[in-house]
Amino acid sequence: MKILLFGGTTEGRLLAAKLAGEGHEVTVSTATKLGEEELRGIPGISVICGRRSEEEIENLLEGFELCIDATHPYARQISRFVRAACDKKKVRLENRKRRVEDNGEGIRVSSVKEASGYLCGKPGNILVTTGSKNLGDLAELDRDRLYVRILPSHEGIAACEAAGLPHRHIIAMYGPFSVELNAALIRQYDIQWLITKNSGVEGGFPQKAEAVRQTGIQMLVVGHD
């Protein structure tokens, strides 16, 4: 069977490898070069890289019998595009998005922008682990108190530069991270607030939450619904 899988998450890569091992012809579409890197060398998998519009996804679906959405739970736009394109092209769609349980930890906010508003006027350094795409939503916060942990990519660092962050405040690392490393970064940069997404077990959220408990800081959790 010819399968097109939209992914880049750990479980997406594992699923792609399993399907290829079963003899299916698997093509994986990733948004970033880092996602492409992780799939390199897995037998039986073709990889295409880049963000796509709904129309581009429609064109991409030509000839495929099954489409699988294994994107990140916060990747809402691409999921909408994939579903609409599959409906239009009459290609069967399976949703294999990561299931994320809400355990009620932290201060709940609906967006990075809401987190920014909440922290205005509250003292203390802030560690942002929600990625580089929403840095513009933190414009009202003093750059000297913002530390951003991002994937080590040119695009991510460029976004931090565009947002006016000092280079010494850019932490470019590939996760997920242990409790010990999260806690060490919190202590190193004298962090009082953590802005994060609940990316589930696979995305290292429990390790962040435990580091927050151990260091006694506050955590703001951005919702994905």
Instruction: Please report the pLDDT score of residue 120 as a whole number.
Output: 94
pLDDT tens-digit map of 5-19: 998 777 788 899 999
Instruction: Please report the pLDDT score of residue 105 as a whole number.
Output: 83
Look at 36-45, 51-60, 98-107 and tell me which has the smallest mean pLDDT.
98-107
Instruction: Please report the pLDDT score of residue 38 as a whole number.
Output: 78
CA 143 to chain centre: 23
225 pLDDT exceeds 60? no
Q: Extract the runs of DSSP E, i.e. beta strands, from 31-158.
A: 45-49, 66-69, 92-95, 107-109, 125-128, 146-150
188 pLDDT exceeds 70? yes
Task: Return d(Cα 205, Cα 196) in angstroms, integer.
Answer: 8
pLDDT tens-digit map of 50-102: 889 999 999 999 999 999 999 877 778 899 999 999 999 999 999 987 766 66
Note the pTM of the prediction, 2 decimals: 0.76
SS3 content of the chain, % helix, strand, coil (to 5): 40, 25, 40
The CA R_g of the chain, rounded to the nearest whole Å, is 19
Question: Which domains are assigned to the chain?
Answer: 2-95 (3.40.50.720), 107-222 (3.40.50.620)
Closest Cα to residue 95, out of 14, 202, 6, 197?
Answer: 6
- List residues bridging with 150 in a β-sheet: 172
